[in-house]
Amino acid sequence: MATTTTTASGKQRRLAKRRNHDKWGYVFMAPFFIFFLAFNFYPMFYTIYLSFTDLAGWATEANMVGFQNFINIWNNQLFRRAVSNTFILWIVNFIPQIVLAFLLAYWFTSRRLNLKGIGFFKSLFYLPNIITAASVAVIFSSLFSYPRGPLNLFMLNLGVIDSPIDFFRSVIMTRLIVSFIQFWMWYGQTTIVLQAGILSIDENLFDAARVDGATDWQSFTKITMPLMKPITLYVLITSLIGGLQMFDIPYLLTGGGPQQSVETMITFIYKQAFQGGRNLNVAATASVVLLLMTTLFSLIVFNSFRTRATKTRKGVK
């Protein structure tokens, strides 16, 4: 990116200056900027503003209460639970996901194995990602349903279990199912990104290693893995930011239960704001905490992005 833009924009600059077209830059950017201000910028600052008020229930007037909401949320057991749940659900999904994605990317790119039909397998591994998350949640809630859901029936008929299991009354099971769904929906995507990264590594490095007598696995651990660090960081952070927004699956699967075990930050925000007491101030405060976390994580990516520029062209979320 760096080199091509400098030369191209150098030419453009001269051309544009001469013909005085630059003002069109503002005109063409204007729609984006106006809609960004209205639908992104303003709502974000409105949310931050609400986190310093007492707006709740059907009240129409908001009074400033300083940092009171932040003190309250710090002591809010349910919110703390939602934060730790969100991280637990993400970690349990991400670790197997990145391990499997790395292995698949390694196998897919191995010249020694020279596997066929990779495109076919990739497109099937990616399939769950494009299906509506709401539908996926309902699918799994019926597959695992009690007492006569398909999975229970299958295991009963096989004789694996004597009596049906009520998956969604068990904290562990419910969490595992939510994490599994996330894993299942995203490992295909991660595999594709990692594979693209491996393919962008200079072939000569591998050839040189082979001449020196390195095994395939040695090349993978000594060349591929270190060079893949930036992409892995990118995958990690975008997955984490995405994971912090987890809503559809836990909300539609069990509504956050049992015992609030899959209550996430967004299900917490949604329920506070739109159910029961309509505590918009609490929801706004939780949103600000989430915003701070997200900003922190995205700054990490942003920095690694700027230092590494083109090579991987990754970055669209």
Structure-block tokens of residue 286 = 């939780």
Q: Which is nearer to other proteins, 228 or 284 (CB)?
A: 284
Structure-block tokens of residue 160 = 């694996």
- Cα–Cα distance for residue pair 288/137, rounded to 1 Å: 27
Could you tell me the smallest distance in angstroms from the CB atom of residue 156 to other proteins?
8
Could you tell me the smallest distance in angstroms from the CB atom of residue 223 to other proteins?
18
Could you tell me the smallest distance in angstroms from the CB atom of residue 310 to other proteins?
9
Q: Which is nearer to other proteins, 104 or 223 (CB)?
A: 104
Residue closest to 193 by CA, chosen among 120, 104, 310, 133:
104
Phi, psi for 148 (deg, rounded to 5): -120, 40
Could you tell me the smallest distance in angstroms from the CB atom of residue 133 to other proteins?
6
- Cα–Cα distance for residue pair 127/315, rounded to 1 Å: 21
Q: Are 198 and 310 spatial neighbours (Cβ–Cβ below 8 Å)?
A: no
Q: Which is nearer to other proteins, 87 or 184 (CB)?
A: 184
- How many CB atoms are closer than 10 A to CB 163? 8
Q: Which is nearer to other proteins, 223 or 286 (CB)?
A: 286
Could you tell me the smallest distance in angstroms from the CB atom of residue 227 to other proteins?
17
Structure-block tokens of residue 106 = 């390694």
- Cα–Cα distance for residue pair 166/312, rounded to 1 Å: 45
Q: Which is nearer to other proteins, 189 or 224 (CB)?
A: 189
